[in-house]
Structure 1
């Protein structure tokens, strides 16, 4: 998703929970957190990523609403609180079932069901990418479809584990 976000110039707001205590974002992802589309890479202690720093970067109340795509860990904690905060502000929220996890698998399903009931759209990374593209004539179609093909085995494996909600 980070590589596709770069190709599509989708704004990315990244946060890490207590870097000094829990460590930095994993190196596999860290290397994709640069470029003009990266709007934030912030440390936080709040469970929601909608910290005052991030909130200041989001559209004002009377501005057009966001289509926010959520990926991350601890679906039942940080993903849930972030999603609820964004929904409360009127934004549309997509949670990628193959890109969120929890230390206890049972917590994940409970959280996804709760968030779907609250109004979030629970979908997959491939589905949301092609929804963003909208047309095979999109100038980024080859790049994104190449990324999808390149990661198809990882995606298939993740969906096999994570799509049980």
Structure 2
């Protein structure tokens, strides 16, 4: 099957994938009911990025005013952490680094963070416009309003993003129980991420 068809089906190759953590900043904690769940997902993906050798990129929205990434998120192995005022993570700083790291074109991004209907959505739009596959972690994308979050996920699916979960992505990257890092990744997903969608919200997706 052609590579483009495989991407449309949602296949992932670790060597051609990146993780994007969007604006997981302490300033947003009090206004986001699922912020602690997002931090759990962010730490899971950060640990997995090191185990699977998938680059992690971390953005901070206007940190001079909003402060840095929350200390609860261990991002020490991030390829770069960069600030932005643009809502999308696709700034020149990120795009220039990706050109160096992926001269033969990046296949896919795995995206999580906040807010789902603003920075996450606009980041996804920018990468989809470049024909790059986008996997949105529904368990790791939040907004102040659950309504904004749910409708953002609907719109993201409509533009061709894969709406998925952190555990699903990690097993897609491994593909086989015989993967050399299977035991390490299995430890990361031993405890499930708490559900953050009610029945009414799920019925709208």
User: TM-score by structure 2 length?
Assistant: 0.71
- Give matches, 1:84-163, under 5 Å: 84-149=125-190, 151-152=191-192, 155-158=193-196
Distance in 2, matches of 1:76 and 1:157, equals 19
For structure 2, the residue ranges without an aligned partner over 5 or more in a row are: 1-44
Tell me whether 1:66 sits opposite 2:115 in the alignment: no
Shift of 1:160: 5.8
Shift of 1:92: 0.3
Corresponding residue for residue 2 of structure 1: 46
Distance in 2, matches of 1:58 and 1:66, equals 11
Larger RCO of the pair (alpha carbons < 8 Å, separation 6+)? 2
Residues 62 and 137 of structure 1, relative CA distance in 2, 3 Å threshold: closer
Shift of 1:65: 3.0
- Give matches, 1:78-89, under 5 Å: 78-89=119-130
CA RMSD between the two structures = 1.9
Judge conservation of contact 1:47–1:81 (CA < 8 Å) in 2: yes
Distance in 2, matches of 1:102 and 1:52, equals 25
Judge conservation of contact 1:65–1:91 (CA < 8 Å) in 2: yes
Residues 8 and 159 of structure 1, relative CA distance in 2, 3 Å threshold: farther
Judge conservation of contact 1:97–1:122 (CA < 8 Å) in 2: yes
Listed one character per residue, the Cα deviations across residues 32-84 of structure 1 (whole Å, up to 9, x for unaligned) are: 2223xx22100111000011111111238983332100010100000000000
Shift of 1:23: 1.3
Query: 3-state DSSP class of the match of 1:95?
Result: strand
Listed one character per residue, the Cα deviations across residues 83-108 of structure 1 (whole Å, up to 9, x for unaligned) are: 00000111100000000000111001
Query: 3-state DSSP class of the match of 2:135?
Result: strand
Q: 1:43 aligns with which of 64, 71, 83?
A: 83
Shift of 1:157: 3.0
Corresponding residue for residue 21 of structure 1: 65
Corresponding residue for residue 57 of structure 1: 97
